[in-house]
Amino acid sequence: MIPFLDLKAINSRHKQELIEACSNVIDSGWYIQGQYLNNFEREFAEYCDSDHCIGVANGLDALTLTMRAWKELGKLKDGDEVLVPANTYIATILSVTENRLTPIFVEPDPFTFNIDVKNIEKAITSRTKVILPVHLYGRSAPMREIMAIAKVYDLLVLEDGAQAHGVFCDGKMVGSWSDAAAFSFYPGKNLGALGDAGAVVTSDSALANTIRAIGNYGSERKYVNNIKGVNSRLDEIQAAMLSVKLKTLDSDNNRRRAIAKEYYKRIDNPNIRIAPLDGLNNVYHLFVISTMFREELATLLSSHGIQTLIHYPIPSHGQLAYRELGHLSLPITEKIHQEILSLPISPVMETAHIDLVIDVCNSFSVSNV
């Protein structure tokens, strides 16, 4: 069996260090907002080349609280429009609607799966206030072009980096390009906690202070509440775990790149399309191929014990949760959702397993369909 992602194997590599980190937190007697969170926030801000990192409960909150903070700071108001890629995990969209802002779906580039810059400008109206690019599957969105558009139209930019810890875009770390970037540390992410966790990075001090206050009941000083906040904090144990795992994020990402390189070099089948290679500009959170014969290919891979997944089978505007958006026609997004398939990739994947995935992909023939 070749699992899609073997989290036990990924975390077992750090077991002693994780146990020690956990034990240190237990012995400290301080479990929320203490030295381990401070340490991780400092380390991750530095890693992302940003001035501040604010730990929150999960990636969805990282996105939601950033836009909520912009509302508190008077930069956004109900009904303002946020440009989002139409193909993303639904969390991106939920963070917009949770804030009573309006998501405007922008079609992606069919090859890179990332938001298509030429469609961004067409979607801008007098109500547009934010561009929310997603670095989908580990590939950076075209940040230089996005920031240039944002400057012309005076828009805020929030990066969704949930799938892209450690990606460089034109030599600059993802997360340091824009006004703020949101990260998820869900266990399956490239930098994954052992539970839910998330963070915002930003170099805007007012924004950082406001997000921190909102996530802590709206309080900057104990029992003084200036904002109607929520409870969204990254706890000491998860922060300590993340500090352990941050040390190997770059080597893990390099291992993912090496596997992707093999897939690129050796998967050679006219029925399988792979996004254009972008060298180091990708941390391959997912390795996503496209095929008109998805079900058949997934069945063949499964018959060889290879697990695949679809990220994602239904676009947000096709979900019942967004039934009011069901009338939207987004042909590029819809085609992508019909044809994509994610192959196994992870820093602990064995060479024999990589070879088998490649061999089975190459053996796939439409005449068998």
Ligand X SMILES: Cc1ncc(COP(=O)(O)O)c(C=O)c1O
- Contact residues for ligand X (CB under 6 A)? 58-60, 88-89, 91-92, 134, 160, 162-163, 184, 186, 196, 198
Rounded CA-CA distance 346/237 in Å is 24
Nearest distance in Å: CB 91, ligand X = 4
Closer residue to ligand X (CB): 267 or 343: 343
How would you class 254 by CB atoms within 10 Å of its CB: exposed for 0-12, middle for 13-18, buried for 19 or more?
A: middle
Nearest distance in Å: CB 42, ligand X = 21
Closer residue to ligand X (CB): 82 or 361: 82
| Number of helices and strands in the chain (H, E) | 13, 14
Rounded CA-CA distance 168/54 in Å is 21
What is the distance in angstroms between the CA of the first residue and the CA of the last residue of the chain? 23
Instruction: Kindly state the tokens that stand for 191.
Output: 């930098």
Nearest distance in Å: CB 243, ligand X = 18
Closer residue to ligand X (CB): 70 or 113: 113
Nearest distance in Å: CB 170, ligand X = 21
Closer residue to ligand X (CB): 18 or 191: 191
- Which residue's CB atom is positioned nearest to ligand X? 59
Beta bridge partners of residue 94, listed in sequence order: none
Rounded CA-CA distance 182/366 in Å is 41
Closer residue to ligand X (CB): 70 or 89: 89
Rounded CA-CA distance 28/17 in Å is 16
Beta bridge partners of residue 103, listed in sequence order: 82
- What pairing do the DSSP bridges indicate for beta strands 102-106 and 128-131? unpaired
Closer residue to ligand X (CB): 175 or 300: 175
Closer residue to ligand X (CB): 66 or 176: 66
Nearest distance in Å: CB 69, ligand X = 17
Nearest distance in Å: CB 223, ligand X = 29
Distance of CA 73 to CAs 52, 92, 155, 205, 259, Å?
Answer: 17, 21, 15, 12, 44
For residues 11 and 185, the answer to whether their CB atoms sit within 8 Å is no
Nearest distance in Å: CB 316, ligand X = 11
Cα within 13 Å of Cα(211), Cβ side: 31
Cα angle 234, 312, 160; round to 5: 40
Closer residue to ligand X (CB): 183 or 364: 183
Nearest distance in Å: CB 136, ligand X = 7
